[in-house]
Amino acid sequence: MKIVPVVLAGGSGSRLWPLSRKSRPKQFLPLLSDNSMLQDTLLRLKGLDTLDPIVICNDEHRFMAAEQLRELGVNAQILLEPVGRNTAPAIALAALHAQQYYQESVVLLVLAADHAIQQVDAFQAAVKKATEVAATGRLVTFGIVPTYPATGYGYIYAGEASVTGIVSVKAFVEKPDQNTAESFISSGQYFWNSGMFAFQASDYLKELKAHRNDIFQSCELAMQQASVDLDFIRVPVEAFTACPSDSIDYAVMEKTQHASMMPMDAGWSDVGNWASLSELKAKDAQGNDTQGNVWLEDSANNSIHATNRMVAGIGINNLIIVETDDAILVADKTSCESIKTLVNRLIEAGRTEPETHKEVFRPWGKYISLGEGERFQVKRITVKPGGRLSLQKHYHRAEHWIVVSGTAQVVRGDQSFLVTENESTYIPCGEIHRLDNPGCIDLELIEVQSGSYLGEDDIVRLEDVYGRSV
């Protein structure tokens, strides 16, 4: 039976702030290699006999996901969730789409886009066994062989093992306290709940309908109204908003009589915070792991990430230090779980740092804020070859564009002309304009905005090749 990977790429990853933010969460970041975590998830499938994957992500991340898939040469179905409704509805959307798209029985291999797996061979061996069992009508969850009494993971209470290595499931257990976790480990019968699954699309939908028919009906209605938008499958907002929110564990796996578990010992981590990310990185002789321009003296067991500036430390121990353009985090390794609390406080205070980076990605490229003051703002804009900004106008600002490298095709009013390196042009307030990169290299330019209001919402889009209205 054919295997369709389903990659869940939603979520904000706030425990990895300030690197992971709402506009670019951890699944789209290169945390453990030169590839993003989403890309690493897809690359570890290489060698398995799979069909094109289904990637489920938030609407605001659609172009980022599409670009990262394009970089890998992966042809994927990208399903857009207009609102988050947890894993049970998300997987239901994928199952319904797979049935309609492939018109045959398929096994869904459900994976998270933000997990790390160090031993790919062991992972693939477990996947092959699990998908074979899933083809017989079982709903298989992957249980991670625990390496310590973790209190941050749910557990699976395992029953008897079959000759294939697949294990029966006695119960799913919530995150335990320390004493309970230690008893789980000493018993040898408990596994970490990975949140990865293998089952036939039809079997999952049958069990969802039996145990949470309200979710099934909502998702079925939403997919009946889904539409294709460029490279994306867009689920209607109103229909999906009406869907109840629930996890696959609560909605299906804890209720079904057809659950099985595939034990996996493959160096798995959910990379839930900076401390768990540090555990996966190579260390120096003093136990430090560093990235970027970092200098340490008489310091041990630190994890330091420098994005732009030098970070120097003397006599420091057991710290997490993360430097970005607009925020620096300093935390004790034992306090990493409190980062989410801090991020929530920043959001309540109206701070922008939990939401966006200074470097903002767009379908045509990206821009970086270089500086701002009263009535002015300066950005460095990069437009990919073939990239095109929307035909637009602004009511409150004028813009100067200075080309640093490449060639720009500029539309200004009823004029169309080229602007090359060391040349500039001016866009008056209220003037209709557009910027294209007709060349084969990146277009780099400096934009100087001036006016009474410089917010990103002062954009009136008249035409957009990417289908954006805002």
The closest alpha carbon to 117, from 266, 304, 302, belongs to: 266
Query: What's at 411, amino acid-wise?
Result: V
Specify the DSSP element, H or E, that contains 171. strand 167-173
Torsion angles phi and psi, residue 302, rounded to 5: -105, 155
SS3 of 165, please?
coil
Q: Rounded to an integer, what distance in angstroms lies between the CA atom of residue 321 and that of residue 303?
A: 6
Q: Copy the structure tokens of residue 443.
A: 């277009």
Task: Report pLDDT digits (tens) over 176-208.
Answer: 999 999 999 999 999 999 999 999 999 999 999
- Which segments of the chain have a pLDDT < 50? none
Q: Copy the structure tokens of residue 210.
A: 């039996």
Domains and CATH numbers, the chain: 2-269 (3.90.550.10), 274-348 (no CATH), 359-463 (2.60.120.10)
Please give the pLDDT value at position 470. 59
Q: Copy the structure tokens of residue 442.
A: 């990146």
Contacts of 69 (CB under 8 A, 6+ apart): 42, 55, 75, 76, 78
Please give the pLDDT value at position 78. 97
Specify the DSSP element, H or E, that contains 340. helix 339-348
Q: Copy the structure tokens of residue 330.
A: 């300093």
Please give the pLDDT value at position 160. 85
Please give the pLDDT value at position 359. 87
- Which residues face 425 on adjacent strands? 401
Q: Rounded to an integer, what distance in angstroms lies between the CA atom of residue 315 and that of residue 332?
A: 14
Contacts of 33 (CB under 8 A, 6+ apart): 40
Q: Rounded to an integer, what distance in angstroms lies between the CA atom of residue 400 and that of residue 377?
A: 11
Q: Rounded to an integer, what distance in angstroms lies between the CA atom of residue 397 and that of residue 194?
A: 50
Q: Are 394 and 430 in contact (CB under 8 A)?
A: yes
pTM of the model: 0.91
Q: Rounded to an integer, what distance in angstroms lies between the CA atom of residue 145 and that of residue 344?
A: 33
DSSP 244: P
Q: Copy the structure tokens of residue 26.
A: 């951890």
Please give the pLDDT value at position 469. 66
Q: Copy the structure tokens of residue 310.
A: 């030098």
